[in-house]
Amino acid sequence: MPDAVSLIQLKRDNTRPLTDAEIAWLFGAYAENVVADEQMAALLMAIYFNGLNAEELSAWTGEMIASGETLDLGHLGRPSVDKHSTGGVGDKVSLVLAPLVASCGAVVPQLSGRGLGHTGGTLDKLESIPGWRANLSNAELASALKQVGVVIAAAGAGLAPADRRLYALRDVTGTVESIPLIASSIMSKKIAEGTNALVLDVKTGSGAFMRDPGKALTLARTMVALGEQHHVRTRALVTRMDTPLGRTAGNALEVEEAVAALAGEGPDDLMEVTYALAEHMLDLAGIHADPREAIASGRALNTYRMMIKTQGGDPDAPLPTAKHVATALEAPATGWVTHLDALAVGIAAWRLGAGRARKEDDVSHTAGVRCLAKPGDHVQQGQPVLELHTDDPARFTPALEALRAPGVLAIGGEPPPTMPLVVDQVGA
């Protein structure tokens, strides 16, 4: 019979891999509180330093899935496919992508999360719509998928509950940034939701969680392998997050921009990433459809409106607006914007009230940043590049401090070269 201390020592000293039986015992004992939080925290730190090999990670993820319920979408009679993003600044892709792909004939069960720090959460954004509900029962979720083909909702407490406990420990013990632990956390919930296929958007760059391109690619490969091992067709795109995606960062501001994108008026960078992901999702689902036609015909926007109504929201209600708006970050010279740092903009939006420092914090639906100019735009000396939105004017000062950091904005004599936003692909 294994015991917690011996498993900690095995992983601490990197003596040998943990066996499937040992990992199964660990999760069962942890669920019954035979293994204490401090012992699991010690093991997580050992994993942070020494990793998990492919066999350990597959077993670890399997136990996280088995810790709760799994959804069955087979009765819906249509292929299902989901998408997950590792998060970035202005990343409102899910708001456009999920109804877009559903309007092409797929079932899209998008179980999403909330923002933490400088990266926004999809649920926080949609909660700026009056009446919209993130929390659906399994019966409500199934009904919405049958009616509309798409939901964007909170993952139920019954899906991979072990992940919830482990993430809370990782959050307070400095073990969040572990590729195997990140991969198992994301994939356990996505596999448990019962989708047939999954496309991952792994962000890299200054505004991404995984800033280093090499580490982003490793994470992408790790998650694709986990998906395939658990019989979910999985593909990953590694995409740039060096500058905010689209023109807005902040909850209601991003919803407004997403609706404009569904109406055919989306900024080029947002649509580049959205269409790339949509094409891969439809390919994995075996559906031959043109996502651009779904936007142009109005079908995608109609599906979005139905999704919002089905979850209690009013798609025609005015979105909340900030009480105070100010411009910031004046161009130091006339020329072309060659760089606008995503991290600085994300931190500014967070400090204005759009994000949270702790999971239990409230967010402001109105706070955020609008980019008046982005890389590739021509500006005059003294022209403001950003517009700041908040309900609390005291928040302007800390937000401006983030934007005054060296290297946030660069102006050049020539427009910057156009770089594709999709930098790598993993999976067949």
Q: Which of 67, 80, 85, 185 is catalytic?
A: 185
Q: Which of 11, 189, 203, 235 is catalytic?
A: 189
CA distance 44 to 111: 26
Whether 190 is catalytic: no
Whether 84 is catalytic: yes
Q: Which of 83, 84, 305, 370 is catalytic?
A: 84
CA distance 101 to 216: 25
CA distance 248 to 250: 6
Q: Is residue 51 helix, strand or coil?
A: coil
CA distance 52 to 46: 10
Whether 6 is catalytic: no
Query: What stretch of H or E contains 52?
Result: none
Whether 247 is catalytic: no
CA 163 vs. chain centroid, Å, equals 17
Query: What stretch of H or E contains 379?
Result: strand 378-379
Q: Is residue 265 helix, strand or coil?
A: helix
C-alpha closest to that of 232 among 401, 374, 76, 58? 58
Whether 185 is catalytic: yes
Q: How many CB atoms lie within 10 A of CB 5?
A: 12
Structure tokens at 225: 């392998």
303 DSSP assignment: H
Contact 410, 337 (CB under 8 A): yes
The CA distances from residue 114 to 111, 173, 189, 375, 379, in Å, are 11, 20, 14, 28, 35
Side-chain half-sphere exposure of 142, counting CA atoms within 13 A: 12
Q: Which of 170, 190, 235, 395 is catalytic?
A: 170
Q: Which of 82, 91, 124, 163 is catalytic?
A: 163
User: Which residues are known catalytic residues?
Assistant: 84, 163, 170, 185, 189
